Structure 1
Amino acid sequence: MTPRDASDDPSDLPEDNRWSDLDRPPLNAASLRRALVRGGGLWTSLDVVPATGSTNTDLAARADELPEGAVLVAEEQSSGRGRLDRRWSAPARSGLFFSVLLKPGPSVPVERWGWLPLLTGVAVATGLSRSAGVDTALKWPNDLLVTVGGEERKAGGILAERAGSGGGGVVVGIGINVTLREEELPVPTAGSLALAGAASTDRDTALRAVLRSLEQWYGDWRAAEGDPAASRLQEAYAAGCATLGRKVRAELPGDRSITGEAVAVDGDGRLVLATGDGVQEPVGAGDVVHLRGV
């Protein structure tokens, strides 16, 4: 259980059932702010709310008034969203549900902003490896995978959306199942850090690690003007991507699909498929289904 000190604001805690599940203590917002919000760093504010519809929606609504580096965390989301408008829901305090506000311009060309979800995936996987001691992999473009009982399962997802006047900012939402139990899984293909045998499921520790990792990767990428090769982002993503080397089916907009072997992630962050007729086709948007193991 995470200790609290006399300086902690009671408003940081859910009021109605703060300790109803002793395996799932609330996040220590004051401690997180002390550890992460500092002069010269990326993170400029960090707020924890007991519940909300969607942290992405809430943060996007304030994108113009907030500086880059605002972080909004919810102990529970009632309208969490994934890609393709899929719902993301989980019991209160069973995971990490948060959004961050990034404003990459003008140092990073807009055409390179598409790397932000992939960058976030690398940062999340790196941070969780360090803090939770669990092996994770990335499914293109934005799913976090863990292994439960020898099966590949989804334990997290990322959703990036343009925000602010003229689309000058990007809100990146991250959802990670931390202590979700087998009987609580929304679908059989879902998983959690706990079910994957994580050495630690302390959410405060995990959130600090993920945000520090994201700060480092984002800083390097921005310093390289968004160049995925110069910042080593492209190399790191490929190394951790479970989709590469697999036979997959890409379900594309317009009810079209492509089946082939995923052979690369190109400089634009697109997944390159080698099809049966010898053509290499890049996929920039769509849903990817893994058809066989490595």
Structure 2
Amino acid sequence: MTPQNAPDSRWSDLDRPPLNVAALRRALLVPGSLWTSLDVVTSTGSTNSDLAALATSRPEGAVLVAEEQTAGRGRLDRSWTAPARSGLFLSVLLRPGTDVPVARWGWMALLTGVAAATGLAKAAGVDMSLKWPNDLMVTVGGEERKAGGILAERAGDEAVVVGMGINVSLRADELPVPTAGSLGLANAVSTDRDPLLRAVLRSLERWYGDWRATGGDPGASGLQAAYAAGCSTLGREVRAELPGARSLTGEAVALDGDGRLVLRTGDGERHAVSAGDIVHLRPAT
């Protein structure tokens, strides 16, 4: 990891100023908060990998942010890269402990999606939706585009590291693929990363606290209903590309109590999908 304030990089793009670490710490590291530490590095390979390596020596609520991530990972080990200071690239360390049964820890990525979408919708003024299981979507020029992703990974027996990569000011000529988007391209009212980061972390603190207080119950905490309400996958014809080179096509009709996507195929059968890529299909004509 490269500490922030490295020479020759701080002012390389005046439209993308560095995060104000001191101000972020004053705002977030307050008595009673979930957040216990916040570190910002200029560049690193993967904040998830770095924080996982520190998990045994850090308390719950540690936050690691990178101004640039050179080997960021998404689901299925896909890469996630973007220009320096063009987005929010961070990981947080959470310890649900005995409050939440391990069987419910799978909800943590979905919970983070709800928290990020709701926090960014307020702070950036952008309508955001969730593509199951962990993509953050925006609308650019009338098209649905991916602006962020979430990856939750176990770090030992007691901890989970949850990483987020969110495109904030990425310009059209910087998009890694045509289907990508950013808050800026979705006409956000602000692309100032400091308030956006505060909004995401405060929203995550609230949703995580409510979920943990109910023993991780997605119904009692309101998490299941909130995810379903913001999920653009539900109600659409989709193709699930499953492990083992299998696929399943049907209508996404529900999210079950384990966070699985329920598809209704043409024969009326229902199938719960727990892993795989989801492709949104155009409605049949």
Cα distance between partner residues in 2 of 1:274 and 1:22: 50
**What is the deviation of 1:13?**
2.7
Contact 1:12-1:29 at 8 Å conserved across structures: no
- The offset of 1:293, in angstroms, is 6.1
Following TM superposition, the consecutive aligned residue runs of length 4 or more in structure 1 with deviations greater than 3 angstroms are none
CA contact (8 A) 1:272 1:281 kept: yes
Q: Are 2:18 and 1:26 equivalent residues in the alignment?
A: yes
Matches within 5 A, 1:89-104: 89-104=81-96
Residue 247, structure 1, aligned to residue 237, structure 2: yes
Letter in 1 for 2:210: D
Deviations 1:186-226 (A, max 9, x none): 00000000000000000000000000000000000000000
Q: 1:217 aligns with which of 182, 191, 207?
A: 207
SS in structure 1 opposite 2:55?
coil
SS in 2 for 1:71: strand
Aligned with 1:106: secondary structure? helix
> In the alignment, what sits opposite 1:8?
none
User: Which residue identity does 2:180 align to in structure 1?
Assistant: A
Counterpart for residue 88 of structure 1: 80
Equivalent residue number for residue 226 of structure 2:
236
Q: Structure 1 293/153 Cα, relative in aligned 2: closer, same or farther at 3 Å? A: farther
In structure 2, give the amino acid aligned to 1:122. V
Amino acid at match of 1:265: L
SS in 2 for 1:64: helix
- How many angstroms does 1:130 deviate by? 1.0
Matched residue, 1:15: 7
In the alignment, what sits opposite 2:276?
Answer: 286
TM-score normalised over the length of structure 1: 0.94
Aligned pair 1:202/2:212, yes or no?
A: no
**1-side partners of 2:75 and 2:4: how far apart?**
30
Aligned to 1:192: 182
Q: What is the distance in 1 between the residues matched to 2:121 and 2:129?
A: 10
Match of 1:160 among 133, 147, 152: 152
Any idea what SS the aligned residue of 2:180 has? Answer: coil
Pairing 1:107-146 to 2, within 5 Å after superposition: 107-146=99-138
What secondary structure does 2:92 align onto? strand
| SS of corresponding position for 2:43 | coil
Give the C-alpha shift of residue 105 in structure 1: 1.3
Counting matched residue pairs gives 282
**Percent of aligned pairs with the same residue?**
76
Kept after mapping to 2: 8 A contact 1:12/1:28 = no
2:283, 2:109 → 1: CA distance?
24
Contact map agreement 1:14 1:26 (CA 8 A) in 2:
no
Q: What is the distance in 2 between the residues matched to 1:202 and 1:13?
A: 19
SS at match of 2:48: helix
**Does the aligned pair in 2 maintain the 1:43–1:71 contact within 8 Å?**
yes
CA deviations over 1:50-77 (Å, ceiling 9, x no partner): 0000000000001111000000000001
2:35 & 2:6 partners in 1: Cα distance? 24
Q: What are structure 2's unaligned runs of at least 5 residues?
A: none
| Deviation sequence 1:77-133 (CA, Å, 0-9, x none) | 110000011000000000000000000011100000000000000000011011100
